[in-house]
A and B are shown apart, each in its own frame.
Chain A
Amino acid sequence: MKRRILAISLVLLLAISLAAIGCGPKEGVEQQAEDPYEEYVASLPGGSFPVSPECFGQAIEEGELLIYEWPDWWPEEVYEGFSEEFGIKITRDAYATAAEVRTKFALAPETPFDLVCAMGIEDVISLSKVGAAGPINPDWAPNVWKYVPGKYLELASKYSSVAYHLFFTAYMYNTNYVDDPRIPSWGVLLEPEEQFKGKITLLDDQFMVVGSALKYLGYSFYSDNEEELMEAEELLMKLKPYVMEYSTWPLALVKEDEALIVHMWSGDGWFMHDEYEAILPVLPSEGADLGVGLIFHPVGSPNPAAAHLFVNYLFRPEVNAFLIEKIFYPPTHTAVLGLLPEELLPVVTVPEGYSDKCDPFDPRGVTGEGLKIRTKIWEELKS
Chain B
Amino acid sequence: MKSLTGKTLLAIATLTYLFMWVPAIMVIVFSFSNDKLGVRWEGFTLRWYSEIFSNVAVRDAFGMSLTVAVITVVVSTAVGTLAAYGLYKYKFRGREALRMSLLLPIIMPAVITGGALLVFFTRVLNVPLGYPSILIAHISFGTPLAIFIILGRMARIDWSLEEASADLGADRLTTWRKITIPVLLPAIIASAILIFPWSFGDFTITFFVAGAGDTTLPIYVFSALRFGETAAINAISTIFVALPVAFLLLMGFYKRKK
When chains A and B are docked, how far (Å) is the Cα of A91 from the Cα of B211?
Answer: 13
For B130, the closest partner residue in chain A by CB is: A112
A16 within 8 A of B: no
Q: Give the residue among A68, A250, A252 with the most B Cβ atoms within 10 A.
A: A252
Whether B226 pairs with A66 at a CB distance below 8 angstroms is no
CB-contacts of A46-73 with B (<8 A): 66, 68, 71-72
Complex Cα gap A68–B215 (Å): 12
Residues 210-232 of B contacting A (Cβ, < 8 Å): 211-213, 215, 223, 226-230
Asked if B122 is at the interface (CB within 8 A of a chain A CB), the reply is yes
Q: Is B118 an interface residue (CB 8 A)?
A: yes
B123 x A256 contact (CB < 8 A) = no
CB-defined contacts of A72 to chain B, threshold 8 Å: 227, 229
Which residues in A have their C-beta under 8 angstroms from that of B227?
71-72, 94, 249, 251
| Chain B residue nearest in CB terms to A100 | B207
**C-alpha gap A110/B228 in the complex (Å):** 31
Asked if A94 contacts B223 (CB within 8 A), the reply is yes
B213 and A91 contact, CB distance less than 8 A: yes
Q: What is the CA–CA distance of A129 and B243 in the complex, to the nearest angstrom?
A: 46
In the assembled complex, how far is the CB of residue A131 from the closest CB belonging to chain B, in whole angstroms? 13
Contact of B128 among A108, A247, A250, A255 (CB under 8 A): A108
Q: Are A68 and B226 in contact (CB under 8 A)?
A: no
List chain A residues, Cβ under 8 A from B129: 108, 111
Q: How far is the CB of B61 from chain A (nearest CB, A)?
A: 11
Q: Flag if A93 contacts B230 (CB, 8 Å).
A: no
Q: Which single residue of chain A is at the shortest CB-CB distance from B220?
A: A94
B122 contact set on A, CB distance < 8 A: 107-108
The reply to whether the CB of A230 lies closer than 8 angstroms to some CB of chain B is no
Q: How far is the CB of A255 from chain B (nearest CB, A)?
A: 8
Residues in B whose Cβ lies below 8 Å from that of A14? none
Closest to A298 in B: B212
The interface residues of chain B lying within 8 Å CB-to-CB of A111 are: 128-129, 211-212
List residues of chain A with CB within 8 A of the CB of B215: 93
Q: How far is the CA of A96 from the CA of B229 in the complex (A)?
A: 14
A68: chain B residues at CB < 8 Å are 212
Are B123 and A107 in contact, with the CB atoms below 8 A?
Answer: yes
Interface pair A110/B128, CB less than 8 Å apart: yes
Known A249-B228, A252-B230: A66·B212 in contact at CB below 8 Å: yes
- Say yes or no: is B119 at the interface (Cβ < 8 Å to chain A): yes
A-B contact count (CB 8 A): 45
> Could you say which of A91, A110, A249 contacts B226, with CB atoms under 8 Å apart?
A249
Interface contact B37-A256, CB-CB below 8 Å: yes
Contact B212 A252 (CB under 8 A): no
| Alpha-carbon distance A247/B212, docked complex (angstroms) | 23
Cβ contacts A98-112/B at 8 Å (1 or 0 each): 000000000110111
Residue interface mask B147-187, A partner, CB < 8 A = 1: 00000000000000000000000000000000000000000
Q: Cα distance A252–B39 when bound, in Å? A: 12
**A residues 70-125 touching B (CB-CB < 8 Å):** 71-72, 91, 93-94, 96, 107-108, 110-113
> B228 to A251, Cβ gap below 8 A?
yes
Within 8 A of A (CB), among B126-146: 128-129
Please determine whether B213 and A252 come into contact, CB atoms closer than 8 angstroms: no
Inter-chain CA distance A94–B215, complex, in Å, is: 9
Chain B residue contacts of A256, Cβ below 8 A: 37
Q: Are the CB atoms of B228 and A96 closer together than 8 Å?
A: no
A111 to B129, CA, bound (A): 8
**Distance to closest chain B CB from A237 (angstroms):** 26
Nearest Cβ distance between residue A289 and chain B, in whole angstroms? 23
| Whole-angstrom CA separation of A91 from B129 in the bound complex | 17
Determine the chain B residues whose CB is within 8 A of the CB of A255 once the complex forms.
37
Query: CA separation between A252 and B232, bound complex, in Å?
Result: 14
Docked complex: A247-266 residues within 8 A CB-CB of B: 247, 249-252, 255-256
Contacts of A252 in B (CB 8 A): 37, 228, 230
Q: How far is the CA of A369 from the CA of B150 in the complex (A)?
A: 54
| Residue of chain B at shortest CB distance from A95 | B223
Q: Report how far A112 CA is from B129 CA in the complex, Å.
A: 10
Residue of B nearest to A256 (CB): B37
Docked complex Cα distance between A251 and B229 (Å): 9
Known: A112-B211, A113-B212, A251-B227. 10 other contacts (CB 8 A): A71-B227, A94-B227, A96-B223, A107-B118, A107-B123, A108-B128, A111-B211, A112-B212, A247-B226, A256-B37
What are 27 residue pairs bridging A and B, where the CB atoms are less than 8 Å apart in the complex?
A66-B213, A68-B212, A71-B227, A72-B227, A72-B229, A91-B213, A93-B212, A94-B223, A94-B227, A96-B223, A107-B118, A107-B123, A108-B122, A110-B128, A111-B212, A112-B128, A112-B211, A247-B226, A249-B226, A249-B228, A251-B227, A251-B228, A252-B37, A252-B228, A252-B230, A255-B37, A256-B37
